[in-house]
């Protein structure tokens, strides 16, 4: 029984197709991993906001921030270190709430970022309710299992759309 001849071009084409299929499968796996990491980070940022709205930004910051966190407030000096930031947050008037809604995130390895729209609700000197809106950018790191806030920067916007 004679075996059919297989040309070198047929073999090359076969191996090229197998290589492409393998590469595409590998890329799909990385995309799924990255999508899961992004969803995880968005959940953490949402939980951070929920805790801030319920127990105050200081309590939320205490739970989610890294020890070497950096806070970049609008029109203020940079605050370095979790203890320094927590101390500065003690001056927030009672009844003030800060909440936010992440709009987007991305992750690369053990670093990620989220950005979104925030609302700072409080009262003026006459006791009337005030709401200030703005945008934020948070940089997160994942040193050992849990996402920790590394840097947060905020700036005001004219309205709730973050304009």
pLDDT of residue 114: 97
pLDDT of residue 162: 57
pLDDT of residue 3: 52
Q: Which CATH architecture has domain 8-157?
A: Roll (3.10)
Residue carrying the six token digits 């970049």? 72
pLDDT of residue 150: 97
| CA-wise closest residue to 44 among 161, 154, 145 | 145
| Kind and range of the H or E run holding 16 | helix 8-55
| Overall pTM > 0.85 | no
Residues of the chain below pLDDT 50: 16, 20, 23-25, 27-30
| Kind and range of the H or E run holding 70 | strand 65-72
pLDDT of residue 28: 46
pLDDT of residue 14: 56
CB atoms within 10 A of CB 108: 9
pLDDT of residue 91: 83
């Amino acid at each position: 029984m004679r075996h059919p001849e297989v040309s070198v071009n047929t073999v090359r084409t076969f191996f090229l197709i197998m290589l492409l299929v393998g590469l595409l499968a590998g890329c799909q796996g990385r995309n799924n991993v990255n999508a899961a990491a992004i969803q995880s980070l968005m959940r953490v940022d949402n939980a951070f906001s929920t805790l801030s709205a319920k127990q105050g930004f200081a309590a939320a910051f205490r739970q989610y921030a890294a020890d070497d966190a950096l806070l970049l407030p609008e029109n203020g000096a940079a605050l370095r270190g979790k203890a320094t930031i927590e101390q500065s947050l003690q001056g927030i008037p009672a009844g003030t709430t800060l909440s936010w809604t992440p709009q987007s995130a991305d992750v690369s390895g053990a670093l990620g970022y989220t950005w979104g729209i925030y609302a700072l609700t409080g009262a003026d000197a006459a006791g009337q309710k005030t709401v200030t809106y703005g945008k934020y950018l948070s940089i997160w790191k994942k040193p050992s299992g849990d996402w920790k806030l590394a840097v947060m920067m905020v700036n005001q916007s004219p309205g709730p759309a973050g304009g």
